[in-house]
Amino acid sequence: MHALAVDGLHKSFDGDPAVDDISLTVPQGEFFSLIGPSGCGKTTTLRMLAGLLTPDAGRVMLNGEDVTDRPARERETNTVFQDLVLFPHMTVAENVGYGLARSGVTDPERGQRVDDALALVKLAGFGDRDPADLSGGQRQRVALARALVNDPTVLLLDEPLASLDRTLRDEMQAEFRRIQRDSDTTFLYVTHDQESAMSMSDTVAVMRDGRIVNAGPPRQLYTDPQTQFVASFLGDATLLDGEVTRHAGPDVVVKTDAGPLRADADAASYAVGDTVTVAVRPEAVTLGGGGLTGTVVDIAYKGFYEEAAVDCNGTELVVRRERNTAATPENATSADGGTGVPFRVGETVTLGVDRAILVENERR
Ligand SMILES: Nc1ncnc2c1ncn2[C@@H]1O[C@H](COP(=O)(O)OP(=O)(O)OP(=O)(O)O)[C@@H](O)[C@H]1O
Ligand SMILES: [Mg+2]
């Protein structure tokens, strides 16, 4: 049995479908992320799961029970929104215990559960504090404790980290994952931040225009994206159109404008002459040697590595190179970084591509 099962969910606003046939299942204890660009229907989906919006069609099941017709307060879901709101006139402990108090849980049980929830989010001893005196990350933890204190079947989170700065977001991401595991709660997490979704989730579902276009473990979606959209939405990728020229073991060789690329594919399902699209990720590109030739058109400094955009006959491929730690700031971008291969704008370089990804054309 799944903690959450959704079947054929639809919602239109003024005749425009915002959610168009969403089905998904989430096993108990899983961290499931729903990601996709702005406006693709993530929040609308979440609101229907929470019981805050009535679907036009489809069913929502929690722990095997159909809750589609139940209002939010009669569902065992809690929601944490982006613009989380703590009650300003209550202490941290009162905020966390609010839902328990409303459902008639009294002390000492309530106090104990509030303490446990605060300990879970590493805010033991903060109960008497005023929410206004907390940092952004601490407020986020209080909101999480408040949502976890009554042990929901599914915790729904809508971009809860969007308002935090990068450092705090990275830290809270790891904390969310830890709290999710420690509490063994099913999380359904909505975000347009692919990176954070990939690092936290057991399963990621990519949405586009109200539909789920690809779902699976992050590694699978990244290495074997089903569509061009997913390939470029999850991480960096250059897309090239080409033609299959021959089979090479389990791979196919694809002729593209940049040159021939070997793509790992279920070769049997492609014939010589097929028109295909391949995606090339920066980490698959090596500098020096290899069969492609191009001109460096841009170099971006990224900290411990540098990234060069290389024009290969009209297509830009991105290649990364770790900084030579021995290089001085003066020679760092102008020298060859100790590899003997130039890395300068205007320079001609050769590139190798270890592995291109064959992606389907969008079925739309
Ligand atoms: N109450 C509403 N009335 C009319 N249209 C709405 C309403 N709520 C959402 N929409 C529309 O439905 C579509 C999906 O909106 P939704 O808020 O679900 O997107 P989202 O994926 O959460 O985007 P974001 O990442 O920007 O939060 C959008 O086109 C939006 O304008
Ligand atoms: Mg939204």
Domain final position from 224, 258, 282? 224
Give the strand pairing for 285-301 and 305-312.
antiparallel
pTM reported for the whole predicted model = 0.87
Ligand 1 neighbours by CB, cut-off 6 Å = 13, 18, 36, 38-44, 192
Q: What is the pLDDT of residue 234?
A: 92
Task: Report which bound ligand comes closest to the CA of 40.
Answer: 1
Same domain, 166 and 98: yes
Same domain, 61 and 84: yes
Nearest residue CA, atom 26 of ligand 1?
38
Same domain, 181 and 241: no
Q: What is the pLDDT of residue 332?
A: 46
Query: Residue 323 in contact with residue 335, Cβ under 8 Å?
Result: no
Nearest residue CA, atom 24 of ligand 1?
38
* Ligand 1 atom at shortest distance from the alpha carbon of 47: 18
How remote is the C-alpha of 22 from its chain's centroid? 18
Domain final position from 195, 224, 253? 224
Task: Report which bound ligand comes closest to the CA of 34.
Answer: 1
Q: Rounded CA gap, 151 and 113, in Å?
A: 10
Is 208 part of any domain? yes
What does residue 115 show for φ and ψ, rounded to 5 degrees? -60, -45
* Ligand 1 atom at shortest distance from the alpha carbon of 14: 4
Q: What is the pLDDT of residue 334?
A: 43
Same domain, 172 and 46: yes
Tens place of pLDDT for every residue, the chain, 364 residues?
899 999 999 999 999 999 999 999 999 999 999 999 999 999 999 999 999 999 999 999 999 999 999 999 899 999 998 777 899 999 999 999 999 999 899 999 999 999 999 999 999 999 999 999 998 889 989 999 999 998 999 999 999 888 778 888 888 889 899 999 999 999 999 998 898 899 999 999 999 999 999 999 999 999 989 889 999 899 889 999 999 999 988 889 999 999 999 998 776 688 899 999 999 999 999 988 888 999 999 998 888 888 999 999 999 999 998 865 554 444 444 444 555 555 789 999 999 998 899 987 664 4
Same domain, 102 and 126: yes
Give the strand pairing for 275-280 and 305-312.
unpaired
- In total, how many domains does the chain have? 2
Q: What is the pLDDT of residue 355?
A: 83
For residues 177, 178, 179 and 183, what is the CA-based torsion angle, rounded to 10 degrees? 110
Is 230 part of any domain? no
Structural domain for 250, as ranges: 236-359
Same domain, 40 and 168: yes
Q: What is the pLDDT of residue 361?
A: 65
CATH number at residue 67: 3.40.50.300
Domain final position from 202, 224, 246? 224
- Cα radius of gyration rounded to whole Å, the chain: 25
Same domain, 61 and 203: yes
Same domain, 17 and 66: yes
Same domain, 116 and 257: no
Q: What is the pLDDT of residue 362?
A: 60
DSSP state of 346: T
55 cis-preceded (ω within 30 degrees of 0): no
* Ligand 1 atom at shortest distance from the alpha carbon of 45: 18
Same domain, 10 and 147: yes
Is 158 part of any domain? yes
Task: Report which bound ligand comes closest to the CA of 17.
Answer: 1
Say how many Å lie between the CA of residue 80 and the centre of ligand 2: 12
Query: Residue 223 in contact with residue 217, Cβ under 8 Å?
Result: no
Is 364 part of any domain? no
- Buried b or exposed e, range 328-358, using 16+ CB within 10 angstroms: eeeebbeebbeeebbbeeeeebbbebebbbb
The contacts of residue 356 (CB under 8 Å, 6+ apart) are: 240, 254, 261, 262, 263, 264, 278, 279, 280, 284
Is 245 part of any domain? yes
